[in-house]
C-alpha cells in the first residue's frame, strides 16, 4: 500500500542543499544560543503534543509496534529537550601560561560548519534528533539524508522544526533512492565540514574514505555484537527482564540489541527456560494493533538474514527452545526465538542478527566470560548481570565497549554519551559529549 509519494533527490538537489547550508551558516552560528535552545525546546513541545501521530506514522512506515514507536517518539523528543539545555552551556577557558609573564590562553568553541547527517531506518526519528539536536545547539547548518525505507518520519520532523522557528536553509532533507547520488556530491564539497553517520560498519568504512580528501570531521555509530553476561550470582528475575528488553526492544532491530547471551553454566538451564517462557508469550502482530509487542521486520531481506543465521546455528547443533521460524500471514514476521547450546562457531555469535533471536551459550568463569565477550571486532555495548558490586565494576571496566549496562538491558539515554569503540565506530551522541562533535576548539594566544 502506498502511504505517500516522496521526492527522489539527485546530484543537483544535493549541490543546491550544500549552497543553502553554506549561505545560512554564518548567520545561524551567530544566533544567540538561547534562541537556538528555544527552537529545540519548542520542537520538543510539538513532538510531545503530536506523539500519537508521529508514532503511528513510524509504525506504518517501518512496521514496529505502536508501543515501540511511542517509546521512540519520547526518546527522540528528549534529545531536543536535552540539547535545548546544552545550547546555553557552550563554554571555554582562560588560563595563565605556565611560564608566567603576560602569556594567556583563551580557549573557545565554534560551530564546525555545515554538516551531513545520515540516519538509519531502525529508529527513523531518534537517530535524527540525536544528530540534529546538538547541531542546532552548536549552530551548525545541516543536510539530512534519511533512509530510503523510512523517509516520512524525517520529513515530518523537518516540518516540526520549521514550525518551531528553524530558519530557512538551516536544515534540508534529501530523501533519495540512491544514497551515493546525494552523499557523493555533498562530501565532495569541502565547504561541508562534518559527517555524522549511523548505519553499518561496512558502509561506515566507505564513508570514512569519502571524507578523507576533504578531511571532514566524522562521527560514526556503526554495528554491534553485544554480549549479555549472566553470572551465577545474578538475580535471575532481573536478568530475564533485562534480556527481554536488550533483545526485543525495536524487534531486535537495533545496534545495541543483545546478540550473544553468555550465561554461567550453573544457571544456564534455568535462565534459558525462563527467557523462553517470556519470549514465547510476546504477542506478535501488525504494528498498528494495540497490545502487539512484536511487529514485522522491516523487509524480506532482513527476515531472510535472520532466518539464515538461525538455520546455520541449528545445523551446527543449536537447539531451538522457542520460535525459529517465520510468523504467519502477510508481513515479514519472525517468531521471537531462543536458541540453546549454540556452538562457538555459529555465525549468529559473530554477525549482527538484527532480529528477535536470542542465542544462549555458556561459560565457566569470569575470565572466560570476559575473553569471549571481547572476542569480536565490534565494541558498542555489553551487558553484565551480577549482584556482586566488585564484579560489576571489574567486568564493566574489562569489556572493550563504549557502553555497559549493569543489571539493566537499556543503556540508551539522551543524557548519556552513546557510542562505540573498535569497528563500532567513534564519536559520541547525547550527554554533555554529544555537542562536542559539532564544535571546533579554538585557542587564542594572548600577550598582555
Q: What does the binding site for ligand SIN look like in residue numbers (CB under 6 A)?
A: 120, 122-123, 126-127, 198, 254-256, 412, 418
* Four-residue CA torsion sign, 177, 183, 189, 191: positive
Q: Which is nearer to ligand SIN, 256 or 275 (CB)?
A: 256
Pick the closer one to ligand SIN by CB: 198 or 219.
198
53 HSE (CA, 13 A, CB side) = 9
Set of cell numbers at residue 13: 538537489
The DSSP line for 155-172 is HHHHHHHHHTTPPTTSEE
Candidate list 211, 253, 255, 366, residue with the active-site label: 255
* Residue 198 or 225 with smaller CB distance to ligand SIN: 198
**Closest separation in Å from C-beta 120 to ligand SIN:** 6
Note if 202 is an active site residue. Answer: no
Q: Is 221 marked active-site?
A: yes
- Rounded least distance, CB 203 to ligand SIN, Å: 13
What is the C-alpha to C-alpha distance for residues 90 and 33, in angstroms, rounded to an integer? Answer: 9
- Residue at shortest CB range from ligand SIN: 412
Judged by beta carbon, residue 150 or residue 254, the one nearer ligand SIN is 254
Burial of 421 (0-12, 13-18, 19+ CB in 10 A): middle
Q: Which is nearer to ligand SIN, 17 or 127 (CB)?
A: 127
Kindly state the smallest distance separating residue 129's Cβ from ligand SIN, in Å: 11
* Residues 417 and 436 sit within 8 Å (Cβ to Cβ): no
Helix (H) or strand (E) holding 357: strand 357-363
Cβ neighbours of 59 (radius 10 Å): 23
Among all chains, which residue has been given the C-alpha cell 517465520?
Answer: 326
Residue 29 CA, distance from chain mean position:
26
- For residue 249, the minimal CB distance to ligand SIN (Å) is 7
Q: Which is nearer to ligand SIN, 363 or 418 (CB)?
A: 418
- SS3 of residue 206 by DSSP: helix
Residue 22 CB, nearest approach to ligand SIN (Å) = 29
Catalytic residue among 68, 78, 221, 352: 221
CB of 411 to ligand SIN, least distance (A): 7
The rounded distance, in Å, linking the Cα atoms of 176 and 7 is 7
Residue 94 makes CB contacts below 8 A (sequence gap 6+) with 104, 105, 106, 107
Output the smallest distance, CB 257 to ligand SIN, in A.
7
Strands 171-173 and 142-145 turn out to be parallel
Dihedral Cα 395, 398, 402, 405, nearest 10 deg? 0
Q: Pick the closer one to ligand SIN by CB: 120 or 175.
A: 120
Q: Comparing C-alpha atoms, which of 306, 301, 341, 343 is closest to residue 321?
A: 341
Residues belonging to the active site: 221, 255
Amino acid at each position: 500500500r502506498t502511504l505517500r509519494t516522496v521526492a527522489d533527490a539527485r546530484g543537483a538537489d544535493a549541490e543546491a542543499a550544500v549552497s543553502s547550508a553554506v549561505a545560512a551558516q554564518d548567520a545561524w552560528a551567530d544566533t544567540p544560543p538561547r534562541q537556538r535552545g528555544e527552537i529545540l525546546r519548542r520542537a520538543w513541545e510539538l513532538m510531545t503534543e503530536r506523539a500519537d501521530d508521529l508514532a503511528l506514522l513510524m509504525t506504518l512506515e517501518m512496521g514496529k509496534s505502536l508501543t515501540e514507536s511511542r517509546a521512540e517518539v519520547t526518546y527522540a523528543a528528549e534529545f531536543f529537550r536535552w540539547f535545548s539545555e546544552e545550547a546555553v552551556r557552550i563554554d571555554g577557558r582562560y588560563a595563565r601560561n605556565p611560564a608566567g609573564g603576560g602569556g594567556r590562553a583563551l580557549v573557545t568553541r565554534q560551530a564546525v560548519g555545515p554538516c551531513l547527517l545520515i540516519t538509519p531506518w531502525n529508529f527513523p526519528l531518534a537517530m535524527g534528533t540525536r544528530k540534529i539536536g546538538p547541531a542546532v545547539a552548536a549552530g551548525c547548518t545541516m543536510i539530512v539524508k534519511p533512509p530510503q525505507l523510512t523517509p516520512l518520519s524525517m520529513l515530518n520532523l523537518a516540518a516540526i522544526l520549521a514550525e518551531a522557528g528553524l530558519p530557512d536553509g538551516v536544515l534540508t532533507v534529501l530523501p533519495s533512492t540512491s544514497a551515493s547520488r546525494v552523499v557523493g556530491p555533498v562530501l565532495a564539497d569541502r565547504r561541508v565540514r562534518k559527517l555524522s553517520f549511523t548505519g553499518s560498519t561496512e558502509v561506515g568504512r566507505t564513508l570514512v574514505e569519502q571524507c578523507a580528501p576533504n578531511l571532514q570531521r566524522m562521527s560514526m555509530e556503526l554495528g554491534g555484537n553485544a554480549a549479555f553476561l549472566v553470572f551465577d550470582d545474578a538475580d535471575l528475575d532481573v536478568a530475564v527482564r533485562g534480556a527481554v528488553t536488550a533483545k526485543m526492544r525495536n524487534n531486535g532491530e537495533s545496534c545495541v540489541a543483545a546478540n550473544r547471551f553468555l550465561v554461567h553454566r550453573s544457571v544456564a538451564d534455568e535462565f534459558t527456560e525462563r527467557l523462553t517462557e517470556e519470549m514465547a508469550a510476546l504477542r506478535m502482530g501488525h504494528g498498528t494493533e494495540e497490545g502487539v509487542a512484536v511487529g514485522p521486520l522491516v523487509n524480506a531481506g532482513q527476515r531472510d538474514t535472520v532466518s539464515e543465521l538461525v538455520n546455520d546455528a541449528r545445523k551446527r547443533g543449536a537447539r531451538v527452545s522457542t520460535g525459529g521460524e517465520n510468523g504467519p500471514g502477510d508481513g515479514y514476521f519472525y517468531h521471537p526465538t531462543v536458541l540453546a547450546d549454540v556452538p562457538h562457531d555459529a555465525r549468529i555469535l559473530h554477525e549482527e542478527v538484527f532480529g528477535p533471536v536470542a542465542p544462549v551459550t555458556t561459560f565457566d568463569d569470569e575470565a572466560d566470560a570476559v575473553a569471549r565477550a571481547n572476542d569480536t571486532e565490534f565494541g558498542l555495548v555489553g551487558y553484565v548481570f551480577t549482584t556482586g558490586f566488585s564484579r560489576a565494576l571489574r567486568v564493566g571496566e574489562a569489556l572493550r565497549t563504549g557502553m555497559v549496562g549493569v543489571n539493566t538491558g537499556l543503556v540508551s539515554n539522551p543524557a548519556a554519551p552513546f557510542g562505540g569503540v573498535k569497528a563500532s565506530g567513534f564519536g559520541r551522541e547525547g550527554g554533555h559529549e554529544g555537542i562536542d562533535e559539532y564544535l571546533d576548539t579554538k585557542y587564542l594566544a594572548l600577550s598582555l
